[in-house]
Structure 1
Amino acid sequence: MAIKLYLLLFLAFFTFSKADLALLKLKPKEIQMTVYFQDYSGGPNATVVEITGPSHGLLSFTKFGAIFCTDDPITKGFEESSAQIARAQGIYVTSALDGSNTHVLISIVFINDEYKGSTLEIQGTSAQFERVREVAVVGGTGKFRLARGYATFETLSYDHASHYALIQCNLTVLHF
């Protein structure tokens, strides 16, 4: 009985070890892409809303504990009329007492033909008043399985009257 158990454990260990070794032999692919978040924080077509309290007028981006939900269109080019390739769906929370940092949890959900149905998962602290912010790519699905890497965000323009921000996102991602 004990011999059968040891044999079973040995076979299970050997099977998992071979699978792990096969995975280690795969070479990750690297992709670099630049996309543009079309962010509307006000008006009838808002793509960002504050969910921790009533938002009358400007959102409270610097208020500690403020939580926002987003569903921004992501385009291939910086123009609003550029082809939409994905959506940025998720939440972020103003997580620093002084309002300087937000914690970002965003899924980039691709809708274009090349990556349709695939996602990239972004998570981390974003120093929201820095010119360029860096956040980790912690995973992905579809064509981006086992993704890891980083994303940088830079606000290229902001129109106070329309509450519209154009945010450039540079992605560097390794995936299998």
Structure 2
Amino acid sequence: MKRSRFILGLALTLLLTIATTPSQCKYHSKNQIARANRTTDKSATPFGSLYAFDDLLREGPEPNSTVVGNGKGLYLSASQDPANFTLVMYADFGFTTGKFKGSSFGVFSRNPVAELPEREMAVVGGRGKFRLARGFVRVKTHYFNAIMGDNIVKYKATLIHY
């Protein structure tokens, strides 16, 4: 009985190891906070503010760089201390070209923007070729204007998926 459990456990481990596929994706996202007639608010992201975004994903930080997909989601300004500016972020990064066309993965994590030069967020799932994805995204701010809220961010995702 013990031996058959051991063999079953070994077989399941082997199947799960063989079935996973690692992938890496790299892209840039430019985010600009809408700001019609701002007159009193000195912070682009006051504590407790919730923002929706719908951004293009590009191969590079340049405005004319090739579009590879889009990022859609929400982020919440979750830090009262400007020196430790932190967002809580849900994002779905979808690809519209290349080998991952029609696939996306989701990030739901703390985004400690003040951590330089790089920070990390958790990948919690995916669809299409990223079905059942897990992993992490390394995030590096390429450009950030704290007053206006504009930014360009580089994402480098490492994913395990089936």
Instruction: Calculate the TM-score normalised by the size of structure 2.
Output: 0.77
Q: Which has the higher contact order (CA 8 A, sep 6+)?
A: 2
Residue 3 (structure 2) aligns with = none
Instruction: Select 1:80's aligned residue among 63, 78, 102.
Output: 63
Shift of 1:33: 2.3
Shift of 1:41: 2.4
Instruction: Select 1:139's aligned residue among 119, 125, 131.
Output: 125
Distance in 1 of aligned mates of 2:49 and 2:104: 26
User: After superposition, where does 1:110-125 map in structure 2 within 5 Å?
Assistant: 110-125=95-110
SS at match of 2:89: strand
Shift of 1:119: 0.8
* Correspondence 1:170 to 2:135: no
* Correspondence 1:101 to 2:124: no
Distance in 1 of aligned mates of 2:149 and 2:44: 13
- Let me know the Cα RMSD of the aligned residues: 2.8
Unpaired segments of 5 or more residues in structure 1?
Answer: 1-16, 45-54
Deviates more, 1:81-90 or 1:30-39: 30-39
Distance in 2 of aligned mates of 1:161 and 1:65: 17
Q: If you compute each CA radius of gyration, which structure gives the higher value, 1 or 2?
A: 1
Residue 24 (structure 1) aligns with = 16
Distance in 2 of aligned mates of 1:147 and 1:89: 17
- How many pairs were matched up? 148
Instruction: Select 1:36's aligned residue among 25, 28, 31.
Output: 28
Distance in 2 of aligned mates of 1:68 and 1:25: 39
